[in-house]
Amino acid sequence: GVKMLERQNDMCRYKLTGQVPRLASVFRRVEGSKQQLGIREYAVSQTTLEQIFNNFAGQQSEEKGVARGIGG
Banded pLDDT at 8 (limits 50, 70, 90): very high
Strands (E), the chain: 2-8, 11-16
In whole angstroms, how far apart are CA 55 and each of 23, 31, 48, 62?
Answer: 23, 29, 11, 11
Banded pLDDT at 1 (limits 50, 70, 90): confident
pLDDT in tens, 42-59: 988 888 899 889 888 888
Half-sphere exposure of 51 (CA within 13 A, CB side): 7
Structural domains of the chain, count: 1
**Rounded mean pLDDT of the chain?**
83
pLDDT of residue 45: 84
3 state DSSP class of 15: strand
Banded pLDDT at 65 (limits 50, 70, 90): low
For residue 49, give its domain range: 2-71
Q: What is the mean pLDDT of residues 5-32?
A: 88
